[in-house]
Amino acid sequence: MSKIKKYIYITIGLIAFVLGSIGVIIPILPTTPFLLLASFCFARGSDKFNNWFKGTKLYKKHLESFVNERAMTLKQKICILAFADTMIAIPLFLVDVMAMRVVLIMVIVFKLYYFTFKIKTIKPSIQSFED
C-alpha cells in the first residue's frame, strides 16, 4: 500500500476518533459509528495506531464487545440506527426519483433487519456506569 493511502487512512481514523470522543460527551453525536470507522482506518493504515486504538478506554468500552462477540447494547444500536436513518432521510426527502427512494427504503429495512436479528443485544456492563 502506498504511503499516501496509509496517511489518508490514519488521518480519517484520527478525525473519526476525535468525533467519537466528542460523542461520548455530547449525546447528539453518535460514538460507535465513528469509533468503528476509526478502527477500520487504523487497521488499514498502521499497526502502531491500530494497537494504540485497541488499548484506549473508548475502544474497550464501546467497541470491544462488538468486535469480540458481534454484540451491542440496545443504546448503541438505537444511536447508530437513529444517526443512519437521519442521514438516509435527507436524500429520501430531497430526491424526486421514485427508484432511488425505493432503494433508500430498502437500505433502511435491511439495516433494521440486520441490527435486530444479526447483531446480538447485550446488557450494558456495570463498568460502563463507573467510567
pLDDT digits over 84-110, tens only? 888 888 888 898 999 999 999 999 999
The pLDDT value given to residue 130: 43
At residue 50, the pLDDT reads: 93
What average pLDDT does the segment 65-73 reach?
82
Query: What per-residue confidence (pLDDT) applies to 36?
Result: 87
pLDDT at residue 128 greater than cutoff 60? no
Q: What is the 3-state secondary structure (H, E, C) of the chain?
A: CCHHHHHHHHHHHHHHHHHHHHHHHCCCCCCHHHHHHHHHHHHHHCHHHHHHHHCCHHHHHHCHHHHHHCEEEHHHHHHHHHHHHHHHHHHHHHCCCHHHHHHHHHHHHHHHHHHHHHCEEECCCHHHHHC
* All structural domains of the chain with their residue ranges: 3-130
pLDDT tens for each residue of 17-48: 999 899 888 867 778 888 889 999 999 999 99
Query: pLDDT value at position 55?
Result: 93
